[in-house]
Amino acid sequence: MSEHVKVSRDGAVNVVRMHRLEKKNALTRAMYAAMAEAIRSADADDAVRVHLLLGSEGVFSAGNDLGDFMTIAMGGEHGGEVFEFMDVMIRARKPVVSGVDGIAVGIGTTIHFNCDLTIATARSSFSTPFLDLGLTPEFASSGMAPTVMGHQRAFALLALGDSLNGEEARDAGLVWKIVEPENMESEAMSTAKRLAQKPPEALAIARDLLMGDRDARLALCKKEGELFGERLKSDEARQAFQSFMSRKVSKASA
Ligand code: COA
% of the chain at pLDDT higher than 90 = 94
What's the domain count of the chain? 1
- Tens of pLDDT along 176-230? 999 999 999 999 999 999 999 999 999 999 999 999 999 999 999 999 999 999 9
Q: Which of 21, 22, 24, when mutated, tests ligand 1's pocket best, judged by the most ligand atoms within 8 Å of its CB?
A: 24
User: Which residue CA neighbors atom 21 of ligand 1 most closely?
Assistant: 23
Strand partners, 40: none
Split at pLDDT 50, 70, 90, the class of 253 is low
Residue 145: name the closest of 126, 165, 121 by CA: 126
User: Which residue CA neighbors atom 6 of ligand 1 most closely?
Assistant: 65
Query: What pLDDT is recorded for position 251?
Result: 63
Q: 0.85 cut: is pTM over it?
A: yes
- Does residue 187 sit within a domain? no
- Tens of pLDDT along 105-115? 999 999 999 99
Query: What pLDDT is recorded for position 187?
Result: 98
Please give the number of the atom of ligand 1 that sits closest to the Cα of 59.
Answer: 34
- Does residue 143 sit within a domain? yes
Mean pLDDT (the chain, rounded): 96
- Does residue 190 sit within a domain? no
Strand partners, 64: 27
Please give the number of the atom of ligand 1 that sits closest to the Cα of 248.
Answer: 19
C-alpha of residue 26 to centroid of ligand 1, in Å: 7
pLDDT at 244 over 60: yes
Q: Taking the C-alpha atoms of 223, 226, 228 and 231 in order, what is their torsion angle to the nearest 10 degrees?
A: -130
Question: Residue 134: which domain range?
Answer: 5-182+199-253
- Does residue 192 sit within a domain? no
- Does residue 231 sit within a domain? yes
- Does residue 132 sit within a domain? yes
User: Which residue CA neighbors atom 46 of ligand 1 most closely?
Assistant: 63
CATH classification at residue 152: 3.90.226.10
